Amino acid sequence: MDILDSKWNCSVCIDSRQGGRPENQDCYACADTPIGFAVVVCDGMGGGPGGANASTLAVQAILQHLNSCQPSADVQAALKNAVGSANSLLRQTVLDHVELQGMGTTCVVAVVNGKTATVAHVGDSRLYQVRGSKVVFRTADHSVVGEMVRRGELTEEDARRAANSNVITRALGITDVVEPEIDRLSLAPADRLALCTDGVWGAMSEAQVVALISDNKSLREVVRQTMDSVEMMGRAKPGYDNLTLGIVRIAAPKAPRKPRGKMFMPLLGLMLVASLGLNAYFYMSSAPKVKSYSQDQSYSEDQQWDAKHTQYVAPHDDSATRQKSTQDDAPHVDYSKDENPDSNLEYQYLKRESRQKDDTIRKLRQQIEQALNAKPVAPTARQHTNKSRITERIVKNLKAMKEPQKDKVQATKAKRQYQQLILKDFEQLKNEYRRTNKSISDVERQINSRALIEISPDGKPSAKSNQTIDYVVNTLNNMPVYPAK
């Protein structure tokens, strides 16, 4: 089960299970693309390795094409071209590998962009748009019974139970040209888009499916509950189908964020006013009171102030000191001859204190101006990031692809499973990079190449496969690590 929050104002939870079949031939992927959040679900057919190959290749081709689009591209045209590109890839693969003759796949793709979702589908994999507990849109199956329902010859429930309900009239990889059906949907907050294969909707009535996927629970719980219910019903039938379900929930639009600087301006203004008030208070309260003395009054040690050394000292009115002071360059004041000798000292003290208070206020203003004009500091790279964890997981799966298997069939199956896991992680890895990196494109080409899963006759990876794996591992290990988002 995969859960992802998209920057396109939505989130998705998606799961795929093998059911009662020998292998799971369903495949899915989801990722942010330049034109919106894309979810792809495919149901392979053809038996043997063909079905799994078809669905996997189709998912890769569709997502790769959507990722290569410009943000200004038309979404409907982009989806049509993406499905066409996947069909061409499957047709070419069949020509290159005769053993895959007859393989094909259904597909359903949704691209969420703002208040709209653009949907393309081929075959009988479905998309439901649920608002509250009601279905406001559902794709029309490209199948024999689907055509009969549209002509009024069968009901939906009769078509679901019909023996030929799995016979489809349109699929990728069967003909050289395929025409996807494309719909454009208007979205509302809390809408749910459910993409699923026939292993889900074919197991129960549409009313039951809608009741499960519209349950007011978390996406994880809704998907888990629906898949468990389908499997419980499927176990009554031998060999029940693969099942895949992905639910996209549309979030409410985010309110625009106010600039942080403007939020702190009133606070900084209050701090400045409070600081000036406190400084004025301390200035007034710390000024000494002036006392008057008679001429014959003596001065104690704590009543006489030495302005030069800023401390109280004992009287030093000896003739030697008075004689030395007259020789100094600066004029000397003889406090013994003043009517109020303490008044000169008080003036010097007040002048000194005023100068100190002015310096304090000036420094405070400078600090406030620096805080207002400060630029945000760019985050530094961290050792443990989402990117590094995803890279470690990809490298681990790549190394596991080198492990020998019992035979060629088992080795091929294991390699394809590892390749699917690696491709899912790699899509997340690309989203972790905040700027284009040439190595990412090189790695993506190598992961999608046939050389990666090439097997020698004895069931071991071929020399070319080992070389490709080593190249990808070394490239990923040497790529820079950026902070997690």
Q: Tell me: the pLDDT tens digits for 43-71?
A: 998 766 688 889 999 999 999 999 999 99
In this predicted structure, what is the pLDDT of residue 423? 83
Rounded to a whole number, what is the largest CA-CA distance in the chain? Answer: 131
Instruction: Check residues 178 and 258 and name the one with the higher pLDDT.
Output: 178
In this predicted structure, what is the pLDDT of residue 336? 44
Cβ 217 vs Cβ 224: under 8 Å: no
Distance from the Cα of residue 234 to its chain's centroid? 36
7 CB-contact burial (10 Å; exposed 0-12 / middle 13-18 / buried 19+): exposed
Type and span of the H or E element at 40: strand 36-45
User: Which residues are bridge partners to 196 per DSSP?
Assistant: 126, 245
In this predicted structure, what is the pLDDT of residue 68? 94
- Single out the residue of 75, 77, 76, 67 nearest to residue 33, CA to CA: 67
pTM over 0.85: no
Tell me the DSSP string of 275-329.
HHHHHHHHHHHHSPPP----TT----TTT-EETTTTEE------HHHHHHHTTSS
Single-letter code of the amino acid located at 71: P
What do you get for the CA distance between the two ends of the chain, in Å? 22
- pLDDT, average across residues 181-187: 96
Indicate the pLDDT class of residue 281, thresholds 50, 70 and 90.
Answer: low
Cβ 432 vs Cβ 482: under 8 Å: yes
Residue burial 240-278, b: 16+ Cβ < 10 Å; e: rest: bbbbbbbbbbbeeeeeeeeeeeeeeeeeeeeeeeebeee
**Alpha carbons 112 and 31: distance in angstroms, whole number:** 11
Single-letter code of the amino acid located at 166: N
Distance from the Cα of residue 453 to its chain's centroid? 30
Residues 203-234: pLDDT tens digits?
A: 999 999 999 999 999 999 999 999 999 999 88
**Alpha carbons 423 and 64: distance in angstroms, whole number:** 11
In this predicted structure, what is the pLDDT of residue 74? 95
**Alpha carbons 104 and 112: distance in angstroms, whole number:** 26
Tell me the DSSP string of 120-177.
EEESS-EEEEEETTEEEEEPPP-BHHHHHHHTTSS-HHHHHHSTTTT-BS--BTSSS-
Reduce the DSSP state of residue 217 to 3 states and report it: coil
**Alpha carbons 27 and 81: distance in angstroms, whole number:** 20
Residues 357-414: pLDDT tens digits?
A: 777 777 777 777 776 666 554 444 444 445 567 788 888 888 888 877 767 777 787 8
Residues 148-158: pLDDT tens digits?
A: 999 999 999 99
Indicate the pLDDT class of residue 278, thresholds 50, 70 and 90.
Answer: low
Of all residues in the chain, the percent with pLDDT exceeding 70 is 72
463-477 and 438-448 helices, crossing angle to 10°: 150
Indicate the pLDDT class of residue 33, thresholds 50, 70 and 90.
Answer: very high
Q: Which residues contact 76 (CB under 8 A, 6 or more apart)?
A: 118, 182, 184
Residue burial 318-340, b: 16+ Cβ < 10 Å; e: rest: eeeeeeeeeeeeeeeeebeeeee
Contacts 24+ apart (CB under 8 A), 50-53: 50/100, 50/101, 50/102, 50/103, 50/104, 51/25, 51/103, 51/105, 52/23, 52/24, 52/25, 52/27, 52/416, 53/93, 53/100, 53/103, 53/416
- pLDDT, average across residues 249-269: 66
In this predicted structure, what is the pLDDT of residue 463? 82
Instruction: Check residues 355 and 311 and name the one with the higher pLDDT.
Output: 355
**Alpha carbons 445 and 62: distance in angstroms, whole number:** 15
Cβ 53 vs Cβ 23: under 8 Å: no
The answer to whether the Cα torsion of 200, 204, 207, 211 is positive or negative is negative
- pLDDT, average across residues 285-295: 47
In this predicted structure, what is the pLDDT of residue 374? 61
Cβ 195 vs Cβ 245: under 8 Å: yes
In this predicted structure, what is the pLDDT of residue 128? 97
In this predicted structure, what is the pLDDT of residue 124? 94
Residues 411-466: pLDDT tens digits?
A: 787 888 788 888 878 877 776 654 445 567 777 778 888 788 888 777 778 888 88
Single-letter code of the amino acid located at 215: D
Which of 149-153, 267-271, 337-341 shows the highest mean pLDDT?
A: 149-153
Indicate the pLDDT class of residue 30, thresholds 50, 70 and 90.
Answer: very high
Residue 241 predicted with pLDDT over 70: yes
